[in-house]
Amino acid sequence: MALNRRIAYVDLSAGSVEVRDVPLELRRKYLGGRGMDAYLLYNHVEPGTDPLGPDNALVLSAGLLSGTPAPAGARCQISAKSPLTGLLGSANMGGFFGPELRYAGFDHIVIQGRAEKPVYLWVHNGSVEIRDADHLWGGDAVQTQTRLREELGDPDVKVACIGVAGENQVRFACVRTGIKNAAGRTGMGAVMGSKNLKAVAVRGTLPIRLADPEGALGYLEELVDYIQSSKYAEIMGKWGTLFIFDVTNSTGLIRTRNFQSNQMPHSEDLECEAMDRYTMGMAACFGCTMHCRHKYVLPEGRFRGQYGEGPEYTSQGAFGTEVGAASMLGVLEANQLVNLHGLDTLEVGSMIGWAMELHEKGLLPAELVGDLDLRWGNLDAVIRLIDDIAHRRGLGDVLAEGPKGAIERLGPETAYYNIHVKGMSNLHSDERPTPSLALNIATSTRGADHLRSRPAIDLYHLPPKVLERIYGKPGLSDDYRVYEGKPWMVVWQERLYALVDALGVCKFQSVFLSPNMPKAEEYARVLRLVTGLEFTPEELMEIGERVTTLERLFNLREGATRADDDLPERYFTEPTPEGLPAVRGKCIDRDRFEAMLDEYYDLHGWDREGRPTPETLARLGLDAEPTRLV
């Protein structure tokens, strides 16, 4: 059945593995994936733990629907205390690793301690072995997967691994699987590196029994038809997330040259159609009919002849607008390199864009810059810096510390120019004209982030009646420029995304970029047919709330306060210079922002310092945490 996957505790210091069952009570409260990650992290990481020390726990969790025919049931979550922010570390990954983990008999792996020498985990049909990885150390994040498949003699082995960036504990190193999938954010690759853990290889042939196979097939056929009938599914299947660039840049909702403009002129070579020259078709993650990933072979340039996948909208920004360049080939080359090194593409681009602006303003010491030509648009410097960050050389070594650490090294006068929240860089988006999106990045549990509570459809000017149908509240404004009503939209999205991440299905197949995608109603039905667990849609949204609140508790326990739910100073002081008249000349108003934050806390049942009240904790069943039920 779908609920019999187990949890493995691995202690790399002791070289021991212990396998336990997951109590049903925890499934009902947290489902799996990000939900169980939050529980396991809160229960197994003591406050004040050094993120790169042996006591930090790295938690890998497949979603509860991962590996089943639920639409896009591809995802898994990787969590730890973050070496980037010192708060919650948590990153979601597609591809094929999560499903394979479940076929191997596990839902969760909790890794603590530190191996004396490089090791990898071999997870196979109910067993977990710690194996020597000396020979794999130094390998890139694609080569490592190939070598492990050869070594284990099975081309269907799936691998999550780090590249050299993780080995060097770059604070925004990611965990990689496949050609481009990544648990990108908050530095989970650095935590792996700190544990001397090069990879986790999984392979399994254990069936996941469905509660109602026939009913599931019937309903899922309907659901796939519903998803694929959306125009958005067609666009994603053709362009992937690259299409978003065309929308946001033409509006003026993009961040360029770090934070100096919100629109990039002469950017045809970054637009989604520029990918036509390179794409050889689309690839999909596990069980996904949407297939949003380009396959390409680089026809020229530094990596001529190399096969790659992607890029995402994030890379168009990271190696396009952020650094003032407009070349799809440049984006693809940088995308290739970050994927091989195992770096968070978004954090890399933001750090380099910041360095370029600091250089422009004369705030970078000459000896650190050396012979690097940090002028806007210089992709040679971008490529070299990516390499230097991964290998921790010169300026790259400073940038490898992430926003907080690098500001500490370069001086407080550089802080103003870094666009981060809680120590994590923001997407290359500009939220000054959009209060709802601004509140989203200020309050996300893992720092500036667009994937935890973004009400992206707020930009669509949907009629209030439609908004009411989606968000379950009357009177929501159809104008993205106003502050009123936005906290509820952020809270609602927060719950939905936490739910989706706990289920292990893809956000792109929920209400994120299109209003016509599955919500809790549809997932309640899928859950019942697949697992036999009965939930009302309201109960599922409450699980989302519980997960977010527990993540909040983790951050509060590490010392976070209301002051951390803030925006970069520039959001309040510099009006947007470009874009459509509707978005030009906009700043976030401090008083109205604080009022939104108050309302956001109120909606949660938190006090005005952002601390959940005892009543709220009791209502969500969190008043006894940590309970250490497993």
- Binding region for another protein (CB under 8 A): 67-69, 96, 103, 142, 146, 155, 178-179, 204-205, 207-210, 213, 216-217, 220-221, 224, 228, 237, 280-289, 291, 295, 307, 309
Distance in Å, CB of 310 to another protein, minimum: 12
Distance in Å, CB of 224 to another protein, minimum: 6
Q: For residue 271, give the nearest of 234, 242, 310, 236 by alpha carbon.
A: 242
Distance in Å, CB of 180 to another protein, minimum: 11
Q: Specify the DSSP element, H or E, that contains 88.
A: strand 88-93
Is 287 or 396 the residue whose CB approaches another protein more closely? 287
CA separation, residue 483 to residues 225, 588, 596 (Å): 36, 10, 7
CB 476 within 8 A of CB 515: no
Is 42 or 286 the residue whose CB approaches another protein more closely? 286
Q: For residue 544, give the nearest of 520, 528, 565 by alpha carbon.
A: 520
Distance in Å, CB of 497 to another protein, minimum: 22
Give the integer Cα–Cα distance in Å for 312 and 244.
10
CB 75 within 8 A of CB 504: yes
Is 13 or 229 the residue whose CB approaches another protein more closely? 229
Amino acid at site 130 = I
- For residue 257, what are the contacts with CB-CB under 8 A and spacing of at least 6? 321, 322, 323, 324, 353, 356, 357, 376
Which alpha helices (H) appear in 269-378, and where do they start and end?
313-316, 328-341, 345-360, 366-369
Distance in Å, CB of 148 to another protein, minimum: 12
Give the integer Cα–Cα distance in Å for 561 and 547.
19
Is 142 or 451 the residue whose CB approaches another protein more closely? 142
Is 13 or 228 the residue whose CB approaches another protein more closely? 228
HSE-up of 515 (CA within 13 Å, CB side)? 16
Q: What number of other Cβ atoms are within 10 A of residue 305's Cβ? A: 9
Angle between helices 486-503 and 537-557 (to 10 degrees): 100
Distance in Å, CB of 336 to another protein, minimum: 13
CA separation, residue 544 to residues 402, 468, 502, 539 (Å): 29, 20, 8, 9
Give the integer Cα–Cα distance in Å for 340 and 335.
9
Is 232 or 572 the residue whose CB approaches another protein more closely? 232
Is 74 or 421 the residue whose CB approaches another protein more closely? 74
Most distant pair of Cα atoms in the chain: their distance: 68
Distance in Å, CB of 280 to another protein, minimum: 7
CA separation, residue 485 to residues 467, 479, 482, 513 (Å): 11, 10, 8, 19
Is 283 or 334 the residue whose CB approaches another protein more closely? 283
DSSP 299-315: -SSTTTT-EEE---HHH
Is 284 or 415 the residue whose CB approaches another protein more closely? 284
Give the integer Cα–Cα distance in Å for 562 and 610.
6
Q: 280 burial class (0-12, 13-18, 19+ CB within 10 angstroms)?
A: exposed
Is 20 or 209 the residue whose CB approaches another protein more closely? 209
CB 513 within 8 A of CB 496: no
Amino acid at site 282 = M
Distance in Å, CB of 83 to another protein, minimum: 30
Distance in Å, CB of 222 to another protein, minimum: 11
Is 24 or 307 the residue whose CB approaches another protein more closely? 307
- For residue 279, what are the contacts with CB-CB under 8 A and spacing of at least 6? 294, 295, 296
CB 173 within 8 A of CB 392: no
CB 324 within 8 A of CB 352: no
Is 305 or 412 the residue whose CB approaches another protein more closely? 305
Task: Tell me the CA end-to-end span of the chain in Å, nearest whole number.
Answer: 20
Distance in Å, CB of 100 to another protein, minimum: 9
Distance in Å, CB of 56 to another protein, minimum: 31
Distance in Å, CB of 307 to another protein, minimum: 6
Within 311-448, strands assigned E span 420-421, 424-425
Q: Cα 566 to the chain's mean position, in Å?
A: 20
Distance in Å, CB of 512 to another protein, minimum: 19
Is 101 or 352 the residue whose CB approaches another protein more closely? 101
Is 189 or 204 the residue whose CB approaches another protein more closely? 204
Distance in Å, CB of 210 to another protein, minimum: 6
